[in-house]
Structure 1
Amino acid sequence: MAEKENIVGEGRKKATIWNLFFLNIGFIITLINGVLIIPLYLHYMDGAVYGAWLATGNVLTWITIVDPGVAGVLLQRVSYALGEKNEKELGLAISSGILIAIVLFILSIIVGYGLSYFIGSIANIDMHYRSDIVKAFRIALWGTSFSLLADTFRNIILAWHKTKLHGILLYSCIVAANIVTVVLLVLKFGVYALAYSSLFLGLSILLFAITCTCILLKRNKIKLAFQFTYFKSFSKVFVFTFSSNLFETLAANIDLIIVSRYIGSKAVAVLDLSRRPLRIVSGLANNITISMLPSLPHLFGANEKEKIRIVIMRIWTILLWVAGFIICGFILFSANLTENWVGKQFWIGNSNNIILCTSFLLLSIGYNLSNITLSMGHIKSNSLISMARSIAYVVLLLVLSKVLGMTGVLLAFLIPTLILIAYYPKKVFRKANLSAQNLKELIHESLLTGIIVAGCILISYSFKYHLSWFGLIGFSALYSVVFLVLLFSLSKRFRGELNIAVGVFTVKAKAIVQLLLPSF
């Protein structure tokens, strides 16, 4: 099995590095699309038509609820089985996952077509272009459903640590889909340009994912097999993942509606614009464990205890540093960012911003640690914790928004994150067999990060400063240097990780020089 694995897969370290690289490429592409492509939409398409299309996009998002998280569960099961070198488990898991994914694909098409007959009234679309929007919706529905099905096959590829191939093909499809969008817009396809682009993207990703999966299975001589008892056991977990996905989607899409109802429509824009940059950038911290989802289950499946301890400590401490760096930056500069970006009338206020930043700091820590327990196979408990947090958020949102207004909304977001902090650190510490010395290091790094955050909060209350874009960039660079100097001065762990990174870079640089200049 080890010999087969070497043929198709990269090492855990390389797989993680390539996955992290392409996740950040995706982050950049998303930002570029938001800046460059949307103005083209509005140039070649009537604004009202585009608004109607966006409304149907929310319905497409709701259709994805039919997926209980098959792809994510399959990634964990396949990668874990590879770590155990369990070929029988591989065949059974892949067969069961693909079968369920096909059923969900058919279900999403049926549900989507049913909703398409009511989409006009649901989204209150003008009769002048309702017919075009409905037709475009049905085309895009196929693209969304193809993408859902493709996720299952893509995660099989990722489980085999083929992250470089996966990233190249995935983002090639995304770039090609953007080109299709632009070409069709120029050719006056209007809203159909967006629909056909979605169809092209979903179908192209599905075709490449199926092709790569078939090659992997053939090269490794993995025999697909169906066993009803295994299928039944495999399917049981989806009761929890489906419920978790359902409650998460409801919670994520209901908060702005509640804010609009109880506080006002202006508050919706203030909340959304104030948290959007923080939500996007904090995603970079989440990429730490997302990039490792193909390799972590493999590590746990192999049961390499010392490597597990080293890797978990590295993830945990780097997470504290990265999340702390991002959050402190937003505590100090969010007011100036908002003012330069959309205007000071959309600034949420310093105290509310601190609550928001604290929430995202705790959420980032809890989310990344939950990915570790997910990789260990604790899918049921993760789903239950996610459901508890989502339910608590909605209940607190209904109560606190009436009493405390915007501050209540933010507290409703903050308080449920404490559920994550109360559960996951203890769980990860115990399951990863961390030592007492490891605990001391984690406490030290947590306190250090907390002290720096507290210092930034104090600065935000003590000094009022108005920075232009140029000043914001300059002071952000200065802040970055100060933050790194503090870590270097006060954290032995940080100095150790930095020495390792410098050593690896030096070795790689020497190898490149010798390759390019062998006589040097």
Structure 2
Amino acid sequence: MKTQYKKNTIYYMLTQYVQIILTIIYGVILIPFYLRYISTEMYGVWMATGNIMMWLSILMPDWSQLILQQLGVAYGAEDREEFSRILVCGIIIAISFGLVFYTVSWSASFFFEGWLNLPVGFELASLTNAFLLAAVGTALTVLGVTFSSVNLALQHTVSAGMANIAAMVVRVVSVVILLRQGYGILSLGYGNMLYGTTVLVVNVLFTVKFVWPMGLRFIFDFKALFKLIQLTAYSSLNKFGNIVSKQMEFFLVTRYLGGEEATMLKIIKVVPETLLLFATNVSVALMPAVSHSKGAGTIKDKMDALMKFTGIMFAFSCYLGGGIYELQETFVTLWVDSGIFAGQKIVFLVVANTVIVGVADTFGRYVFTVGKIKAVATARSISAVCQAGVMLAGLLLWGMEGMLIGAIMVACGLAMVFMIILIRAEKIPFLLWMVPIREFLLGLCAAVLSVAFVHPPLQASWKGLMLTGTLYTIGFAVLLVCISKNTRLYLVAVLRFLKKRFGFL
């Protein structure tokens, strides 16, 4: 079962970037289009119900990561029987999770009016129907990602990525068509349902294509089932912590400040959260190779490359964060309306929180993938409890700013905990684990200096936005190349690859 780690990872990374672009289209570029057909208040409340759905998904563990980790280790160890047991039991558990999730979502929909403090005359029926359609889509997605994880574990990363791309295209196209046909908020519900359906159908077809030639004998084992159930309990704690850390803001703001304030926060958060995926989601692309290496017993040989590449990711995160801070006000003014811009201080806090959460998520994925599932779950659940209290206290005392400062404090602590767990689990030498920290600090310095010397356009215009962004990019790149040896080494490697592959440079 030999695997071309580098080739598979690069291809999967490319599909991840395509998915991020589609996410930007769906979650950023199309928001003004949504607001032409959906009121600001309705859209803000929809964001809050989306977060309720995320909380309900605690019933389902961080399933895609869990099943990928288990299947990847079994495949790397060339244990076909264990692979079969995990596959069969995983499908059974995923179906059960989907049914339970929809049942609980349906029950929760009866309490929206009280939970969200909705005004008199609000279109509750349309909101509820859209929520239930989205719940169907989420349940189908859970089953679909089970088959996607099979494809990833077998190192067919491009196929898994293409399935997700197809589903995202279906969602974008269907939402646009339905909004123009006058379906309103129901359009978003139908879009999510069609997304889940596509994820399931396409991934099942790919799994049949790849598993059938293996002549795999399907085995059901109660012991394997109970083991997976036990791991899902820990994974659910991990999911709980993840949801609280990333999704609680909209519910709190909607509950205490109102739907319009929630929309304002969404406008500010959507750009950094989406663009920073270009840096942090690279760790997702590494998970199939890392889990396979763990099973094959070769992960220590690859730790040097992993830490150095992680440093590049962190420096890139700083670049994106600085650029977003510099240009966010201009972009929001051109994109939607200057009247719903929350202020530059909020932008700074949102960007800082998003960058730090990305660092924590990266180390958390590594720890999870090497098998320390219980440790990840414990750390996330404790941080979630702390963050819920800190964010609520901050919101009540100092408003939105206080809430975001509380989130940043907890995210910093979580990132440190995950890194310590990874260092101890894999016995990473000091000079090696310092690489991502060093590159993060160097990237931060380059971003701060670039922001200080490059000023945003005096008048909002797309031309000024592009010019400022170009100057910031040039300044950051020059500074980082000068101060980061790791960046210079990767730059030389890329240039050599281009010369070898295309015959120029």
1:468 pairs with one of 442, 451, 460 = 460
1:236 pairs with one of 230, 235, 242 = 230
Within 5 Å, give how 1:247-396 maps onto structure 2: 247-259=241-253, 268=262, 270-305=264-299, 307-342=301-336, 346=340, 348-350=342-344, 353-396=347-390
Describe the shift of the 1:256–1:42 C-alpha distance in structure 2 as closer, same or farther (beyond 3 A). closer
**8 A Cα contact 1:83 1:297, kept in partner:** yes
Deviations 1:155-186 (A, max 9, x none): 11111121212222332233234444455566
1:399 pairs with one of 393, 397, 402 = 393
**8 A Cα contact 1:331 1:456, kept in partner:** no
CA distance in 2, matches of 1:192, 1:262: 26
Displacement of 1:309 in angstroms is: 2.1
**8 A Cα contact 1:359 1:417, kept in partner:** yes
Deviations 1:271-290 (A, max 9, x none): 44333322221222111101
* Worse overlay, 395-404 or 144-153: 395-404
Q: What amino acid sits opposite 1:31 in the alignment?
A: I
CA distance in 2, matches of 1:192, 1:236: 37
1:415 pairs with one of 409, 434, 437 = 409
Bigger radius of gyration:
1
- 3-state SS of paired residue (2:276): helix
Q: What amino acid sits opposite 1:142 in the alignment?
A: V
CA distance in 2, matches of 1:128, 1:386: 36
**8 A Cα contact 2:450 2:472, kept in partner:** no
Equivalent residue number for residue 74 of structure 1: 67
**8 A Cα contact 2:141 2:196, kept in partner:** yes
1:219 pairs with one of 199, 213, 231 = 213
Describe the shift of the 1:35–1:77 C-alpha distance in structure 2 as closer, same or farther (beyond 3 A). closer
**8 A Cα contact 1:289 1:315, kept in partner:** no
Deviations 1:237-282 (A, max 9, x none): 2222213323443454433444466667775455443333222212
CA distance in 1, matches of 2:221, 2:194: 35
Deviations 1:31-51 (A, max 9, x none): 223467666666778999878
Displacement of 1:509 in angstroms is: 0.9
Which consecutive residues of structure 1, in runs of 5 or more, have no partner in the other structure?
Answer: 512-520
Is 2:171 the partner of 1:210? no
* Worse overlay, 329-338 or 188-197: 188-197
Which consecutive residues of structure 2, in runs of 5 or more, have no partner in the other structure?
Answer: none
CA distance in 2, matches of 1:34, 1:274: 12
CA distance in 1, matches of 2:270, 2:179: 28
When normalised by structure 2's length, the TM-score is 0.86
Within 5 Å, give how 1:443-462 maps onto structure 2: 444-455=438-449
When normalised by structure 1's length, the TM-score is 0.83
Q: What amino acid sits opposite 2:5 in the alignment?
A: R
* Worse overlay, 198-207 or 348-357: 348-357
CA distance in 1, matches of 2:399, 2:427: 44
Equivalent residue number for residue 90 of structure 1: 83
**8 A Cα contact 2:48 2:250, kept in partner:** no
Describe the shift of the 1:261–1:305 C-alpha distance in structure 2 as closer, same or farther (beyond 3 A). closer
Describe the shift of the 1:398–1:311 C-alpha distance in structure 2 as closer, same or farther (beyond 3 A). same
Describe the shift of the 1:502–1:112 C-alpha distance in structure 2 as closer, same or farther (beyond 3 A). same
CA distance in 2, matches of 1:210, 1:455: 49
Equivalent residue number for residue 153 of structure 2: 159
Displacement of 1:389 in angstroms is: 2.0
**8 A Cα contact 1:76 1:375, kept in partner:** yes
Describe the shift of the 1:458–1:57 C-alpha distance in structure 2 as closer, same or farther (beyond 3 A). closer
**8 A Cα contact 2:32 2:336, kept in partner:** no
Describe the shift of the 1:399–1:106 C-alpha distance in structure 2 as closer, same or farther (beyond 3 A). closer
Deviations 1:313-358 (A, max 9, x none): 2322112211121122234333444444455555555555444433
Equivalent residue number for residue 474 of structure 2: 481
Percent identity of equivalent pairs: 21
**8 A Cα contact 2:159 2:206, kept in partner:** no
CA distance in 1, matches of 2:26, 2:221: 45
- 3-state SS of paired residue (2:293): helix
* Worse overlay, 234-243 or 195-204: 195-204
* Worse overlay, 292-301 or 446-455: 446-455
1:106 pairs with one of 84, 95, 99 = 99
CA distance in 2, matches of 1:207, 1:459: 51
Describe the shift of the 1:351–1:112 C-alpha distance in structure 2 as closer, same or farther (beyond 3 A). closer
* Worse overlay, 357-366 or 277-286: 357-366
CA distance in 2, matches of 1:267, 1:145: 30
CA distance in 1, matches of 2:252, 2:444: 32
CA distance in 2, matches of 1:268, 1:41: 15
**8 A Cα contact 2:51 2:247, kept in partner:** no
CA distance in 1, matches of 2:434, 2:45: 55
* Worse overlay, 359-368 or 94-103: 359-368
